[in-house]
Amino acid sequence: MTLTAITREINSAIVGCELTFLPRVSIDFALAQRQHQQYQSVLSSLGCKIVVLATAPGLSDSVFIEDTALVLDEVAVLLRPGATSRQAEVSGVASVLQQHRMLKSIQPPGTLDGGDLLRVDNVIFAGLSTRSNQSGIDQLSQIVKDYGYSVRTIETNKCLHLKSAVSEVASGTLLINPDWISGAAFRNYELINIDPEEAHAANALRVEQSVIYPSSFPRTLDKLAMRDINVIPVDLSELQKAEGAVTCCSLICVTP
């Protein structure tokens, strides 16, 4: 079995990406491409086989592939992004996932972004956000219960996605921005608060026993390192301008 990271090319139309909580600023496309390639190289160094999907004209946000699917060991759930402009991204991802998993899908009127789904063992925390609605979450719950997973809804209103506010950094340990989301829903886990000066610092990508983490949040990075977490910094400054983060840019799963 192989640990596989599915990624997608950056679309030149990213300059017109969807934005909800950030003001629009200029994105250096060439620099964004180089940073994305570095991100892929780090994934490769951690043992991942990299699969790069081509983008398609007009899919400005398609590099943020996480929002299109939830890949579990038993099944892949094709999601339905809350931004209408992003729903066309799903078919290209489905063509790859169907080679490795049985596919289920979220149907209208449900919407669900992968950035709103935090899986910790057999629990999937689902963010009720501007992009994900209760219908989408309820459909997901019905799909995954047959495979032994439970879904817990958490309302978010201060950030784009649930994983903008909380992510897993070690077994039983979550990194959280307590100003954006209450820790009450995660009382069974050890919580590490981000540095209060780094509001967007709660998104981290755990790969096996390592964590890929944005270099733009050095104070929180130091907090993680002090916990003996193997933190690998990456610069994603240009994708951050598009409300992207380290979890957004890959779908990581085990494949034959």
For every residue of 162-187, DSSP letters joined together read GGGTEEEEETTEEEE-TTTS-GGGGT
Average pLDDT over residues 164-188: 97
**Residue 72 pLDDT:** 98
Please, which residues have CB within 8 angstroms of residue 219's CB and are 6 or more apart in sequence? 195, 197, 198, 201
Residue 197 pLDDT greater than 90, yes or no: yes
Give the helix ranges, DSSP H, for 161-248.
218-226, 237-240
185 exposure class (CB count in 10 Å sphere: 0-12, 13-18, 19+):
middle
Which residue range(s) make up the domain with 128?
2-255
* CA 228/CA 16 separation, integer angstroms: 39
Chain centroid offset of residue 47 CA: 19
* CA 193/CA 106 separation, integer angstroms: 33
Handedness of CA 123, 129, 131, 135 (dihedral sign): positive
pTM higher than 0.95, yes or no? yes
CATH code at position 161: 3.75.10.10
Share of the chain above pLDDT 70, in %: 100
Average pLDDT over residues 190-199: 98
* CA 174/CA 194 separation, integer angstroms: 10
Write the single-letter amino acid at 244. G
Helices (H) and strands (E) in the chain, counts: 5, 15
Beta bridge mates, 152: 125
* CA 150/CA 173 separation, integer angstroms: 19
What is the average pLDDT score of the chain? Answer: 97
Please, which residues have CB within 8 angstroms of residue 218's CB and are 6 or more apart in sequence? none
pLDDT, tens digit (0-9, with 9 covering 90-100), for 208-250 = 999 999 999 999 999 999 999 999 999 999 999 999 999 999 9
**Residue 256 pLDDT:** 86
Number of structural domains in the chain: 1
